[in-house]
Amino acid sequence: MFSKIIGTGSYLPPNRVTNHDLTQQLAEQGIETSDEWIVSRSGISARHFAERGVCASDLAVYAAERAIEMSGVKKDQIDLVIVASSTPDHLGSFPSTACIVQKKLGISGGGAFDVQAVCSGFIYAITIADAMIKSGNNKNVLVIGAELYSRILDFKDRSTCVLFGDGAGAVVMTASAEPGVLATKLHADGNYAHILTVPGKSAYGALDGSSFVHMDGPAVFKIAVSMLEKVASEVMQAANIAASDLDWLVPHQANIRIMQSTAKKLNLPLEKVVVTVDQHGNTSAASIPLALDCAVRDGRIKAGQTVLMEGVGGGFTWGAVIVKM
């Protein structure tokens, strides 16, 4: 028994914010930046921000519906919903965003839960879904990454507010006699929890601390490059394939320099790397499924091809998965 991805979907809020737009907004607050400064450090030219009142579950549902439509699976055949998100609908993280998505999709009865591994969340969720299918517990699993980072950005901190965006991506995974997910690897190291965090806590009806993203950029960059190379090598070894066997690398879309460095260390040409960070920014747990769906729908990623997906995020967490589409 294998698990296989049979449908992909994604959604971006209609409000596209270019670097020029953001530069003007920040200038009104006395914060200086420029398109050149942002692009040179991250490769990002634009991102999407959701309107007020929109929740992560709303973005998730749009992406899920597109993935379900492509899969050909009926909604009532989905027996598990997993949502990866660091920006859930509720401050206390319950009810889970997955339960809310389940309700909005009009399906119930199967399992539903959230996964919190920040930017690695989708990789964690895929790994769980793969295990649930292989164990025989579930047949059709909906896996979603959905984020609203515009809600937790400090627009007085140009080192973070220019990097992130909102969006959602989803896949439908099903039980299959043909190989789909070939190997997965997950890791975490809480010793690095402080370098990428939202440190605020809910205490006695009030916020204790900051509700904004705090990041030590240089530390994150250094660790990300090292960890992504190592976990990619691990998962390829587990799948018994070489880098030359890969058709595509779909990395977490955080920073173009990290992506380029990872590809170089794996001896992969940049033509094999799916890049959307320039137009989406860093959408955390949504970034990998967003990029995957873009490449599937524009025809780059085709059935039968081998794809390596990997991510690294706060916690510190990191992981990778190899799939045959």
Residues serving a catalytic function are 119, 252, 282
* Helical axes 35-42 vs 256-265, angle rounded to 10°: 20
d(CA 45, CA 84): 25
Say whether the peptide bond before residue 95 is cis (omega within 30 degrees of 0): yes
Count the Cβ atoms, other than its own, within 10 Å of residue 195: 18
d(CA 39, CA 23): 12
Return the percent helix, strand and coil in the chain, to nearest 5. 40, 25, 35
Nearest-10 Cα torsion for 96, 79, 85, 200: 20
Closest CA to 106 of 77, 141, 135, 147: 77
Look up tokens 């990623």; give the residue. Answer: 301
The neighbouring-strand residues paired with 317 are 188, 313
Angle of CA points 253, 254, 259, to nearest 5°: 70
The answer to whether 128 and 149 are in contact (CB under 8 A) is: no
Using DSSP's 3-state secondary structure scheme, residue 61 falls into helix
Report phi then psi at 43, rounded to 5. Answer: 85, 5
Query: β-strand 306-313 against 248-251: which pairing, if any?
Result: parallel
E-state strands within 180-297:
181-188, 196-197, 201-203, 206-208, 214-215, 248-251
- What is the rounded radius of gyration, in angstroms, for the C-alpha atoms of the chain? 19
